[in-house]
Amino acid sequence: MTEVSVTKDALPAADDLVVLKNVNKHFGALHVLQDIDLTIARGEVVVVIGPSGSGKSTLCRAINRLESIESGFITIDGKPLPEEGKALARLRADVGMVFQSFNLFAHKTVLENVMLGQLKVRKADKKDAEEKARGLLDRVGVSAQADKYPAQLSGGQQQRVAIARALAMGPKVMLFDEPTSALDPEMINEVLEVMQQLARDGMTMVVVTHEMGFARSAANRVVFMADGRIVEEAVPDQFFSNPRSDRAKDFLSKILHH
Ligand SMILES: Nc1ncnc2c1ncn2[C@@H]1O[C@H](COP(=O)(O)OP(=O)(O)OP(=O)(O)O)[C@@H](O)[C@H]1O
Ligand SMILES: [Mg+2]
Protein backbone atom coordinates (compact mmCIF):
# COMPACT_ATOMS: atom_id res chain seq x y z
CA MET A 1 0.00 0.00 0.00
CA THR A 2 2.70 2.45 1.01
CA GLU A 3 4.64 1.78 -2.16
CA VAL A 4 1.62 2.49 -4.30
CA SER A 5 0.98 5.87 -2.71
CA VAL A 6 4.64 6.86 -2.92
CA THR A 7 4.62 6.10 -6.64
CA LYS A 8 1.42 8.06 -7.10
CA ASP A 9 2.90 11.09 -5.33
CA ALA A 10 5.97 11.02 -7.51
CA LEU A 11 4.13 10.55 -10.76
CA PRO A 12 0.77 12.28 -11.08
CA ALA A 13 -1.79 10.20 -12.94
CA ALA A 14 -2.15 11.07 -16.63
CA ASP A 15 -5.66 12.27 -15.91
CA ASP A 16 -4.55 14.83 -13.33
CA LEU A 17 -4.64 18.18 -15.08
CA VAL A 18 -4.15 20.60 -12.19
CA VAL A 19 -2.23 19.51 -9.10
CA LEU A 20 -1.61 21.65 -6.03
CA LYS A 21 0.53 20.08 -3.38
CA ASN A 22 1.19 21.60 0.04
CA VAL A 23 0.66 25.11 -1.26
CA ASN A 24 1.18 27.97 1.19
CA LYS A 25 0.88 31.70 0.83
CA HIS A 26 0.80 34.68 3.20
CA PHE A 27 -0.24 38.27 2.74
CA GLY A 28 1.89 39.78 5.50
CA ALA A 29 0.87 37.99 8.69
CA LEU A 30 -2.24 36.55 7.08
CA HIS A 31 -1.86 32.90 6.08
CA VAL A 32 -4.22 32.94 3.07
CA LEU A 33 -3.45 29.52 1.62
CA GLN A 34 -2.62 26.86 4.18
CA ASP A 35 -1.27 23.50 3.04
CA ILE A 36 -3.58 23.32 0.05
CA ASP A 37 -3.70 19.91 -1.61
CA LEU A 38 -6.02 19.78 -4.57
CA THR A 39 -5.98 17.59 -7.65
CA ILE A 40 -8.31 18.29 -10.55
CA ALA A 41 -8.79 15.62 -13.16
CA ARG A 42 -9.15 16.27 -16.86
CA GLY A 43 -12.77 17.09 -17.61
CA GLU A 44 -13.64 17.61 -13.98
CA VAL A 45 -15.76 20.55 -12.79
CA VAL A 46 -14.84 21.71 -9.30
CA VAL A 47 -16.92 24.37 -7.57
CA VAL A 48 -15.11 26.26 -4.81
CA ILE A 49 -17.25 27.86 -2.13
CA GLY A 50 -16.60 29.43 1.24
CA PRO A 51 -16.98 32.62 3.24
CA SER A 52 -15.57 35.94 2.12
CA GLY A 53 -11.83 36.14 2.71
CA SER A 54 -11.36 32.36 2.85
CA GLY A 55 -8.84 32.42 -0.02
CA LYS A 56 -10.93 31.35 -3.02
CA SER A 57 -9.73 34.12 -5.34
CA THR A 58 -6.15 33.72 -4.15
CA LEU A 59 -6.38 30.02 -4.96
CA CYS A 60 -7.54 30.79 -8.52
CA ARG A 61 -4.91 33.45 -8.95
CA ALA A 62 -2.20 31.08 -7.74
CA ILE A 63 -3.24 28.46 -10.32
CA ASN A 64 -2.83 31.12 -13.00
CA ARG A 65 0.30 32.46 -11.31
CA LEU A 66 -1.18 35.90 -10.94
CA GLU A 67 -0.07 35.31 -7.34
CA SER A 68 3.18 33.65 -6.37
CA ILE A 69 3.27 30.95 -3.72
CA GLU A 70 5.81 30.51 -0.94
CA SER A 71 5.99 26.75 -0.66
CA GLY A 72 4.56 23.65 -2.23
CA PHE A 73 4.05 23.26 -5.96
CA ILE A 74 1.46 23.61 -8.67
CA THR A 75 1.52 21.74 -11.96
CA ILE A 76 -0.69 22.13 -15.02
CA ASP A 77 -0.79 19.05 -17.21
CA GLY A 78 2.30 17.71 -15.49
CA LYS A 79 4.35 20.90 -15.92
CA PRO A 80 5.34 23.12 -12.99
CA LEU A 81 4.24 26.74 -13.18
CA PRO A 82 6.98 28.84 -14.76
CA GLU A 83 8.20 31.89 -12.88
CA GLU A 84 8.14 34.41 -15.68
CA GLY A 85 8.78 35.17 -19.34
CA LYS A 86 7.46 33.44 -22.43
CA ALA A 87 6.86 30.14 -20.66
CA LEU A 88 4.60 31.98 -18.22
CA ALA A 89 2.69 33.66 -21.05
CA ARG A 90 2.13 30.23 -22.61
CA LEU A 91 1.03 28.80 -19.29
CA ARG A 92 -1.45 31.64 -18.86
CA ALA A 93 -2.81 30.80 -22.29
CA ASP A 94 -3.38 27.21 -21.11
CA VAL A 95 -5.35 28.50 -18.13
CA GLY A 96 -8.34 30.59 -19.15
CA MET A 97 -9.63 32.97 -16.52
CA VAL A 98 -12.94 34.77 -16.22
CA PHE A 99 -13.34 37.30 -13.41
CA GLN A 100 -16.27 38.99 -11.77
CA SER A 101 -15.65 42.15 -13.78
CA PHE A 102 -15.50 41.53 -17.47
CA ASN A 103 -12.09 43.07 -18.21
CA LEU A 104 -12.73 43.46 -21.91
CA PHE A 105 -10.65 45.97 -23.84
CA ALA A 106 -12.97 48.99 -24.07
CA HIS A 107 -11.49 50.39 -27.28
CA LYS A 108 -11.62 47.14 -29.22
CA THR A 109 -14.71 45.57 -30.73
CA VAL A 110 -16.12 42.35 -29.41
CA LEU A 111 -14.60 40.47 -32.35
CA GLU A 112 -11.19 42.12 -31.81
CA ASN A 113 -11.32 41.26 -28.11
CA VAL A 114 -11.70 37.58 -28.96
CA MET A 115 -9.03 37.70 -31.70
CA LEU A 116 -6.34 39.58 -29.80
CA GLY A 117 -4.83 36.83 -27.64
CA GLN A 118 -4.82 34.41 -30.53
CA LEU A 119 -2.78 36.87 -32.61
CA LYS A 120 -0.40 38.04 -29.86
CA VAL A 121 0.19 34.92 -27.77
CA ARG A 122 -0.72 32.05 -30.06
CA LYS A 123 0.66 33.84 -33.18
CA ALA A 124 -2.40 32.74 -35.12
CA ASP A 125 -3.06 33.78 -38.68
CA LYS A 126 -5.53 36.69 -38.83
CA LYS A 127 -8.09 34.89 -40.94
CA ASP A 128 -7.99 31.79 -38.71
CA ALA A 129 -8.26 33.94 -35.61
CA GLU A 130 -11.31 35.71 -36.98
CA GLU A 131 -12.98 32.48 -37.99
CA LYS A 132 -12.38 30.98 -34.57
CA ALA A 133 -13.57 34.15 -32.82
CA ARG A 134 -16.81 34.20 -34.82
CA GLY A 135 -17.40 30.54 -34.05
CA LEU A 136 -16.90 31.13 -30.32
CA LEU A 137 -19.11 34.22 -30.29
CA ASP A 138 -21.78 32.08 -31.90
CA ARG A 139 -21.25 29.36 -29.30
CA VAL A 140 -21.83 31.81 -26.43
CA GLY A 141 -24.78 33.40 -28.23
CA VAL A 142 -23.44 36.87 -29.04
CA SER A 143 -22.46 36.59 -32.69
CA ALA A 144 -24.79 39.49 -33.58
CA GLN A 145 -22.69 41.79 -31.35
CA ALA A 146 -19.35 41.08 -33.03
CA ASP A 147 -18.75 44.61 -34.32
CA LYS A 148 -19.95 46.48 -31.23
CA TYR A 149 -17.80 47.82 -28.42
CA PRO A 150 -18.06 46.30 -24.93
CA ALA A 151 -19.90 49.30 -23.47
CA GLN A 152 -22.70 48.74 -25.98
CA LEU A 153 -23.41 45.28 -24.56
CA SER A 154 -25.30 44.17 -21.45
CA GLY A 155 -23.31 42.76 -18.54
CA GLY A 156 -24.41 39.23 -19.39
CA GLN A 157 -23.33 39.67 -22.99
CA GLN A 158 -19.97 41.12 -21.93
CA GLN A 159 -19.34 38.21 -19.61
CA ARG A 160 -20.14 35.76 -22.40
CA VAL A 161 -17.65 37.60 -24.62
CA ALA A 162 -15.09 37.28 -21.81
CA ILE A 163 -15.71 33.53 -21.80
CA ALA A 164 -15.32 33.38 -25.60
CA ARG A 165 -12.09 35.35 -25.33
CA ALA A 166 -10.66 32.91 -22.79
CA LEU A 167 -11.76 29.93 -24.89
CA ALA A 168 -10.11 31.40 -27.97
CA MET A 169 -6.70 30.56 -26.50
CA GLY A 170 -7.60 26.88 -26.44
CA PRO A 171 -7.11 26.59 -22.68
CA LYS A 172 -6.71 23.24 -20.95
CA VAL A 173 -8.57 24.49 -17.90
CA MET A 174 -10.92 27.39 -17.26
CA LEU A 175 -11.01 29.28 -13.96
CA PHE A 176 -14.11 31.29 -13.11
CA ASP A 177 -13.98 33.64 -10.12
CA GLU A 178 -17.54 34.67 -9.26
CA PRO A 179 -18.40 35.24 -12.92
CA THR A 180 -22.03 36.15 -12.22
CA SER A 181 -21.82 38.15 -9.03
CA ALA A 182 -21.59 41.54 -10.76
CA LEU A 183 -24.56 40.79 -13.02
CA ASP A 184 -28.16 41.87 -12.74
CA PRO A 185 -30.28 38.87 -11.74
CA GLU A 186 -31.93 38.48 -15.13
CA MET A 187 -28.52 38.02 -16.79
CA ILE A 188 -27.11 35.43 -14.45
CA ASN A 189 -28.73 32.45 -16.13
CA GLU A 190 -27.52 33.23 -19.63
CA VAL A 191 -23.94 33.11 -18.34
CA LEU A 192 -24.51 30.01 -16.21
CA GLU A 193 -26.02 28.26 -19.23
CA VAL A 194 -22.89 28.91 -21.26
CA MET A 195 -20.83 27.49 -18.40
CA GLN A 196 -23.13 24.47 -18.09
CA GLN A 197 -22.68 23.76 -21.78
CA LEU A 198 -18.92 24.10 -21.45
CA ALA A 199 -18.99 21.60 -18.59
CA ARG A 200 -21.07 19.19 -20.68
CA ASP A 201 -18.56 19.56 -23.51
CA GLY A 202 -15.89 18.21 -21.18
CA MET A 203 -13.98 21.37 -20.25
CA THR A 204 -11.97 21.15 -17.03
CA MET A 205 -13.29 23.93 -14.82
CA VAL A 206 -12.66 25.51 -11.43
CA VAL A 207 -15.58 27.73 -10.53
CA VAL A 208 -15.84 30.03 -7.52
CA THR A 209 -19.51 30.84 -7.21
CA HIS A 210 -22.39 31.42 -4.85
CA GLU A 211 -24.78 29.90 -7.37
CA MET A 212 -25.66 26.71 -5.57
CA GLY A 213 -27.99 25.55 -8.36
CA PHE A 214 -25.01 25.58 -10.71
CA ALA A 215 -22.89 23.74 -8.15
CA ARG A 216 -25.55 21.05 -7.75
CA SER A 217 -26.11 20.49 -11.43
CA ALA A 218 -22.68 21.05 -13.00
CA ALA A 219 -20.06 20.23 -10.38
CA ASN A 220 -18.40 16.87 -10.01
CA ARG A 221 -17.04 18.04 -6.69
CA VAL A 222 -17.56 20.87 -4.24
CA VAL A 223 -14.53 22.20 -2.38
CA PHE A 224 -15.36 24.19 0.73
CA MET A 225 -12.72 26.64 1.98
CA ALA A 226 -12.50 28.53 5.25
CA ASP A 227 -9.59 30.54 6.66
CA GLY A 228 -7.22 29.56 3.88
CA ARG A 229 -7.83 25.84 4.19
CA ILE A 230 -9.80 23.25 2.31
CA VAL A 231 -12.10 22.18 5.11
CA GLU A 232 -14.25 19.75 3.22
CA GLU A 233 -14.74 18.31 -0.27
CA ALA A 234 -17.50 16.08 -1.53
CA VAL A 235 -19.81 15.40 -4.44
CA PRO A 236 -22.52 18.11 -4.50
CA ASP A 237 -25.39 15.95 -3.25
CA GLN A 238 -23.41 14.78 -0.30
CA PHE A 239 -22.04 18.22 0.49
CA PHE A 240 -25.37 20.02 0.35
CA SER A 241 -27.48 17.38 2.08
CA ASN A 242 -24.94 16.21 4.61
CA PRO A 243 -22.07 18.65 5.26
CA ARG A 244 -19.67 17.18 7.80
CA SER A 245 -17.89 20.21 9.27
CA ASP A 246 -19.49 22.85 11.48
CA ARG A 247 -17.98 25.55 9.26
CA ALA A 248 -19.73 24.16 6.19
CA LYS A 249 -23.02 23.66 8.05
CA ASP A 250 -22.89 27.23 9.29
CA PHE A 251 -22.00 28.60 5.85
CA LEU A 252 -24.76 26.65 4.11
CA SER A 253 -27.39 27.69 6.63
CA LYS A 254 -26.50 31.32 5.91
CA ILE A 255 -26.51 31.18 2.14
CA LEU A 256 -29.40 28.78 1.65
CA HIS A 257 -31.80 30.60 3.97
CA HIS A 258 -31.71 34.14 2.82
N1 LIG B 1 -3.12 41.63 -2.53
C2 LIG B 1 -3.47 41.41 -1.25
N3 LIG B 1 -2.80 41.97 -0.24
C4 LIG B 1 -3.13 41.73 1.05
N5 LIG B 1 -4.15 40.94 1.44
C6 LIG B 1 -4.86 40.34 0.46
C7 LIG B 1 -4.58 40.55 -0.92
N8 LIG B 1 -5.46 39.84 -1.66
C9 LIG B 1 -6.27 39.21 -0.77
N10 LIG B 1 -5.91 39.51 0.51
C11 LIG B 1 -6.52 38.98 1.74
O12 LIG B 1 -6.41 37.57 1.68
C13 LIG B 1 -7.59 36.95 2.18
C14 LIG B 1 -8.14 36.03 1.11
O15 LIG B 1 -8.62 36.82 0.04
P16 LIG B 1 -9.37 36.21 -1.20
O17 LIG B 1 -9.65 37.37 -2.10
O18 LIG B 1 -8.61 35.08 -1.75
O19 LIG B 1 -10.72 35.68 -0.51
P20 LIG B 1 -12.05 35.17 -1.20
O21 LIG B 1 -12.37 33.86 -0.58
O22 LIG B 1 -11.93 35.22 -2.67
O23 LIG B 1 -13.12 36.25 -0.69
P24 LIG B 1 -14.43 36.85 -1.43
O25 LIG B 1 -15.51 35.82 -1.25
O26 LIG B 1 -14.74 38.08 -0.64
O27 LIG B 1 -14.08 37.12 -2.85
C28 LIG B 1 -8.51 38.06 2.59
O29 LIG B 1 -8.38 38.27 3.97
C30 LIG B 1 -8.00 39.26 1.80
O31 LIG B 1 -8.28 40.45 2.49
MG1 LIG C 1 -12.89 36.32 -4.13
134-191 pLDDT, tens digit per residue, is: 999 999 999 999 999 999 999 999 999 999 999 999 999 999 999 999 999 999 999 9
The pLDDT tens digits of the residues spanning 195-249 come to 999 999 999 999 999 999 999 999 999 999 999 999 999 999 999 999 999 999 9
Least distant ligand from the CA of 58: 1
Torsion of CA 94, 218, 229, 183, to 10 degrees: 80
What percent of the chain lies above the pLDDT cut of 70? 94
Cβ burial of 240 (10 Å; 0-12, 13-18, 19+) is middle
Residue 228 confidence (pLDDT): 98
More confident residue, 233 or 103: 233
pTM of the model: 0.92
Model confidence at 7, in pLDDT bands (50, 70, 90)? Answer: very low
Distance 64 CA to ligand 2 centre (A): 14
The pLDDT tens digits of the residues spanning 46-61 come to 999 999 999 999 999 9
Residue 6 confidence (pLDDT): 41
Q: Report the Cα 140 to chain-centroid distance in Å.
A: 17
Q: Which of 23, 27, 225 to mutate to test the pocket of ligand 1 (most atoms within 8 A of CB)?
A: 27
Residue 122 confidence (pLDDT): 81
What percent of the chain lies above the pLDDT cut of 90? 81
Q: Is residue 88 predicted with pLDDT exceeding 90?
A: no
CA angle 97–190–136, rounded 5-degree value: 55
Distance between CA atoms of residues 77 and 12, nearest Å: 9
Residue 12 confidence (pLDDT): 56
Distance 58 CA to ligand 1 centre (A): 6
Least distant ligand from the CA of 25: 1
Distance between CA atoms of residues 79 and 92, nearest Å: 13
Q: Which of 48, 56, 59 to mutate to test the pocket of ligand 1 (most atoms within 8 A of CB)?
A: 56
Q: Do 98 and 176 touch, CB atoms closer than 8 A?
A: yes
More confident residue, 11 or 76: 76
